[in-house]
Amino acid sequence: MSATRDGKMWRCQFYYKDWQGVSHKKNKRGFKTKAEAEQWERDFLQQQQRNLDINFENFVQIYYEDMEHRLRENTMRTKKFIIDLKIIPYFKKKNMNEIKASDIRAWQNALMKKGYSETYLKTVNNQLSAIFNYAVRYYDLKDNPCRKAGSIGKSHAGEKEFWTKQEFKQFLVTVENKPETKMAFLLLYWTGMRIGELLAITYNDIDLEKRTISVNKSYQRIEGSDIITPPKTPKSKRIITIPPFLTEELKEYISHLYGIMADERMFRFTKSYMEHEIIRGIKASGVKRIRLHDIRHSHASLLVEMGFTPLAIAERLGHEKIETTLNTYSHLYPNKQGELADKLEMENSREEEE
């Protein structure tokens, strides 16, 4: 090892070869102890090997370095939070090529004892499986031990909560004196946009004559900075047609926006503000409690009730696959089965009469 004194602290200096075989010198300072400096060097060199004779914690750092160039910043932050908190502490010193299905099962059992929701268990398990899938695809790991271990949790926590049109109108009264907030909730309910899509809308994205809104980006506030990213998936880029009454509401709202630039965000608040407003409005109006994202489900449920097909709903919501729409809102379609059967009966009766 090459740890040496650096005043009251320790440093490590060594040479290594990168993935192209080029030699580099590494100099890292600021360690409190010699052991800490030597451990950092061991971890760094192990990560440079880029093979599976490496402990889980160091392999995850390789995974992070690769994926952070391919995922949205907020998605990456969520991924890191789950992995760092719920997965690394259990597997960190185990070598990747030594982790077995029995180890995964033991970890799953420990996780289930903590009383987490079924959807959270599924999410955490999927993150671990994604790491091993990455190792299988790019580092020739023989197989993914998570597949042998089986999954835990559920993708959906049962039926989605949503507001009826009457409940939404009852809630809307609580924001009547806040034009910007009211307009934001109107657009969420009548278009089904995601909150990030709504908050990224600029004047340029709106065509009042054609009655359309172009969804082509998403907004997030991350550590105090405003971040604009592409929308969630390629299919999320879409043009939403809005009804005439909503066009008039939007036209009136825009007429009061003085000094706004064409490429400037129309809604200058954040998701946390909207979450605060929905909680306040629920208490004031007495409607059932739902999450901000559930307004999107409310729009979808309205479309189902109006008889639109899953394909039409998927296109309006920007779902990547129609299966997402069917899985998310399948509990709403059984209500239509009775109507469908009645219409078939009527059609059959008409033919017999003819």
Q: Give tens-digit pLDDT for 108-130.
A: 999 999 988 888 999 999 999 99
pLDDT at 16: 76
pLDDT at 45: 74
Shared domain for 70 and 200, answered yes or no, is no
Adjacent-strand bridge partners of 16: 24
3-state SS, residue 71 = coil
Handedness of CA 99, 100, 106, 108 (dihedral sign): positive
Contacts of 307 (CB under 8 A, 6+ apart): 336
Q: Is residue 258 part of a domain?
A: yes
Q: Is residue 341 part of a domain?
A: no
Q: Is residue 186 part of a domain?
A: yes
Shared domain for 137 and 171, answered yes or no, is no
Q: Is residue 216 part of a domain?
A: yes
Question: Residue 211: is its pLDDT beyond 90?
Answer: yes
Long-range Cβ contact pairs of 210-219 (< 8 A, separation 24 or more): 210/241, 211/241, 211/242, 211/243, 211/244, 211/247, 212/239, 212/240, 212/241, 212/242, 213/187, 213/239, 213/240, 213/242, 214/239, 215/239, 215/240, 215/318, 218/72, 218/194, 219/265
Q: Is residue 117 part of a domain?
A: yes
Among 104-118, 146-160, 186-200, 266-280, the minimum mean pLDDT is found in: 146-160
* CA end-to-end distance (rounded Å), the chain: 94
The total number of structural domains in the chain stands at: 2
Shared domain for 139 and 185, answered yes or no, is no
Count of H helices and E strands in the chain? 16, 8
Q: Quote the pTM value.
A: 0.67
As a whole number of angstroms, the distance between CA 92 and CA 342 comes to 60
Count of Cβ atoms closer than 10 Å to residue 56 Cβ: 22
Arithmetic mean of pLDDT, 95-100: 92
Shared domain for 257 and 182, answered yes or no, is yes
Shared domain for 41 and 117, answered yes or no, is yes
Question: Residue 190: is its pLDDT beyond 70?
Answer: yes
The structure tokens 């695809």 sit at: 137
Q: Is residue 273 part of a domain?
A: yes
pLDDT at 156: 67
Last residue of a domain, one of 125, 149, 173: 149
Residue 158 confidence class, pLDDT cut points 50, 70, 90:
low
pLDDT in tens, 212-268: 999 999 998 887 888 898 888 888 999 999 999 999 999 999 988 877 787 889 998
Domain span including residue 290: 165-335
Question: Residue 326: is its pLDDT beyond 70?
Answer: yes
Count of Cβ atoms closer than 10 Å to residue 206 Cβ: 19
